[in-house]
């Protein structure tokens, strides 16, 4: 197979990586460079920007003064357990169990990450899945059946911690209907105005193994 000289931008990127003692990344770059043709400017620029973001390289060092602004780095985001409750009140409380790398665009001031600790919504949401919960969305949909059209919401149930169920709001009875996909777990009805239940937010993003 004919071998071509690496693109000048990729050569400069390799030098920048080696200057930071990222020698393994520089070696992997040589392999990746073989997938790009000389006229694939967009693909090469994307590859350069990904490396700049991951290894803290100023894009201007590789692309010149007209380089686009480097996208924000992936940040380590705290993950909170669903099981922690306050010993006196029984309410769910934030207790960090780990941190994961997550794009900032998935987060915001009203969102947090938790990890599904049960099988109630399998196979839709598997045990161990990472969930992004948006606390700005507090009222589940009305006029639908929880186990068919209900949205996955996180609720703070006294003494149980954070519970994620397919949830809808029954306007006529002013209550929430909670449903699981596991037939062994019957549906539940919880009055909206009660000290034992608080809607924390809607699950807006799920990461899990297929």
Q: Does 18 fall in a domain?
A: yes
- Number of domains comprising the chain: 2
Q: Does 69 fall in a domain?
A: no
Cβ atoms 17, 55 nearer than 8 A: yes
Question: Do 87 and 20 share a domain, yes or no?
Answer: no
Question: Do 183 and 141 share a domain, yes or no?
Answer: yes
pLDDT in tens, the chain (210 residues): 344 566 788 888 889 999 999 888 888 887 777 666 666 777 788 888 878 877 888 888 888 887 777 655 666 889 999 999 988 888 898 899 998 988 777 887 789 999 999 999 999 999 999 999 999 888 888 777 777 778 899 999 989 999 999 999 888 888 899 999 988 888 999 888 787 888 999 999 999 877
Q: Does 203 fall in a domain?
A: yes
Question: Do 57 and 101 share a domain, yes or no?
Answer: no
pTM here?
Answer: 0.65
Question: Do 120 and 82 share a domain, yes or no?
Answer: yes
Q: Does 3 fall in a domain?
A: no
Question: Do 51 and 91 share a domain, yes or no?
Answer: no
Containing structural domain, residue 177:
75-207
Question: Do 56 and 80 share a domain, yes or no?
Answer: no
Q: How many other C-beta atoms are found inside a 10 Å radius of the C-beta of residue 167? A: 26
Q: Does 68 fall in a domain?
A: no
Question: Do 82 and 136 share a domain, yes or no?
Answer: yes
The partner residues of 184 in beta bridges, in order of sequence, read none
Closest listed residue to residue 25, CA positions, set 34, 16, 37: 16
pLDDT, residue 1, reads: 38
DSSP assignment of 95-131, as one string?
-EEEEEEE-GGG--TTEEEEE--S-TTTTTS-TT-EE
Question: Do 113 and 203 share a domain, yes or no?
Answer: yes
Question: Do 165 and 144 share a domain, yes or no?
Answer: yes
Question: Do 41 and 104 share a domain, yes or no?
Answer: no
Distances (CA, A) of 140 to 3, 65, 191: 59, 50, 13
Gyration radius of the chain over CA positions? 24
Q: How many other C-beta atoms are found inside a 10 Å radius of the C-beta of residue 2? A: 3
pLDDT, residue 57, reads: 87
């Amino acid at each position: 197979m004919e071998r071509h000289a690496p693109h000048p931008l990729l050569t400069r990127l390799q030098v920048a990586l080696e200057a930071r003692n990222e020698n393994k990344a520089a070696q992997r770059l040589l392999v990746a460079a073989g997938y790009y043709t000389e006229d694939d400017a967009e693909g090469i620029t994307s590859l350069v920007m990904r490396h700049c973001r991951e290894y803290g390289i100023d894009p201007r060092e590789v692309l010149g003064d007209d380089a686009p602004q480097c996208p924000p780095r992936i940040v380590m985001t705290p993950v909170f357990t669903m099981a922690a409750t306050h010993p006196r009140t029984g309410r769910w409380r934030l207790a960090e169990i780990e941190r994961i790398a997550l794009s900032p665009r998935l987060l915001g001031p009203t969102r947090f990450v938790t990890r599904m600790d049960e099988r109630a919504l399998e196979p839709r949401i598997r045990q161990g899945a990472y969930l992004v919960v948006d606390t700005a969305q507090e009222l589940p949909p009305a006029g639908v059946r929880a186990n068919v059209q209900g949205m996955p919401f996180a609720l703070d149930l006294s003494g149980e911690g954070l519970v994620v169920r397919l949830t809808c709001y029954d306007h006529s009875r002013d209550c929430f209907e909670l449903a699981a996909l596991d037939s062994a777990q019957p549906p539940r009805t919880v009055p909206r105005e009660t000290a034992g239940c608080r809607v924390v937010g809607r699950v807006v993003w799920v990461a899990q193994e297929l």
